[in-house]
Every structure is written in structure tokens, then in C-alpha cells.
Structure 1
Amino acid sequence: MKPTITIEYCPKCGWMLRAAYMAQEFLTTFTGYVEAVALKPGAISGVFRIYIDNNLVFDRKSNGGFSEVKELKQLLRDKINPGMSLGHSDKN
């Protein structure tokens, strides 16, 4: 079964558009490898977390801020399909 990516975001912080943009990027990158990308309004102020099947992969607070989409794709790829090339996103 393919995994589901969930992006939990703080609606009060105005991060819905950021979450939607990331969802689009993840759906485009991982077509065929994921079941869905879900957006989940968080109940905690300042929350921005990314899960794969309820397993935390990224937390903005623990990370000290937002990561670039490229880095998030690499994190997700390493969990979903480690051998997958991300093309230009794999280059330094």
C-alpha cells in the first residue's frame, strides 16, 4: 500500500498557502509512489509538521524554522523510495 503524506499547518499563521504549495510539489514529485497528500489545519499555534502515515518526518519548531522544498523532498524520498532520483533536487 502506498503511503499518505500529511501536512499539518497553523491556519492562524497563514501557512495554508505554504502547505498547499508543498502538497503540489510532493504530488508532482512522488506521482505513483504516494496514495495522497492531505492538508490538516493544526490546533496548536505555530505548528507546521509533515507526516508519512502518521510518522513525523519534519517539525518546523524542532528544525528551528522552515526547510527548503528541496530538502523536504529529500527527507520524504528517503522514507518513501530511497533509490529514487530527484533530478536537480539531488544536486548541491
Structure 2
Amino acid sequence: MTSRPRVAITYCRQCRWLLRAQWYQGELLTTFAEELGEVALVPATGGVFRVDVDGEPVWNRKRDGGFPEVTELKRRVRDLVAPGRSLGHADQGPGQEPGDPGDRSG
């Protein structure tokens, strides 16, 4: 049996970002129910907010500038855990209609 990927959401407890981390956790667990083995919340300090998949950086608040839009976070996680999977409307860019060039929903 192959182990499924582990997502770690590291958040600053001093900044009170637990609720934000929990919201992202729920979104990822709902979207990738079959692909993920775990979405862990990791309390930290110092203004950190980071998302990693099996140690691979996906989002870093300081590097990437703030917090991710949930669709962008899902795309980045998908690219690591299920690269061939469509995210439907989340794969469309702003103002893009299904079937437009660049639409990856199939």
C-alpha cells in the first residue's frame, strides 16, 4: 500500500491565524479527499504561514506575498498530488469561459 501525501499548514499562533489555517485545511480535505493522507495544522510563531506537501514548499506568505486565493492553493497542491486531475472551474483564469484557450478543464 502506497502512503498518500501529507500536507502541513504551518501558521502563526501569535497572529491568530488558526481559523484561516483551518479553513484551508477543510478546503483541501474536501477537494482532495481521495488523494491526501493528512492535512496537519502546525502552530508556530513569528508571522509564519506556510503550506508544504511532503516537505515540498507550496505557499509561503513571506515569499509569495500574503495568503493564497483558495483556487491558487488548490492548483499548486493538485500539481503535486494529482497532476492529471482537473479542478473544473478553478482551472480557468479570471474572466475565462470553459473552452477558451488555456482552459485546462478538458
Query: What TM-score, normalized by structure 1, do the two folds share?
Result: 0.94
Partner of 1:90: 91
Give the 4+ runs in structure 1 shifted more than 4 A.
Answer: none
Residues paired across the two proteins, number: 91
Q: 2:8 aligns with which of 2, 6, 9?
A: 6
Matches within 5 A, 1:1-92: 1-42=3-44, 44-92=45-93
- RMSD across aligned positions (CA): 0.8
- Which stretches in structure 2 are left out of the alignment for 5+ residues? 94-106
- Tell me how far 1:27 sits from its aligned partner: 0.2
Name which structure has the greater RCO, CA cutoff 8 Å, separation 6+.
1
CA distance in 2 between partners of 1:48 and 1:7 (Å): 7
- Which stretches in structure 1 are left out of the alignment for 5+ residues? none
Give the secondary structure class of the aligned counterpart of 2:29: helix
Which deviations, in whole Å up to 9, do the C-alpha atoms of 1:31-62 show, x marking residues without a partner?
110101000001x3110000111222110000
- The one-letter amino acid of 1:62's match is R
Query: What TM-score, normalized by structure 2, do the two folds share?
Result: 0.82
CA distance in 2 between partners of 1:89 and 1:80 (Å): 16
CA distance in 2 between partners of 1:7 and 1:68 (Å): 15
- The one-letter amino acid of 1:27's match is L
- Tell me how far 1:67 sits from its aligned partner: 1.5
Q: Which structure is larger by alpha-carbon Rg, 1 or 2?
A: 2
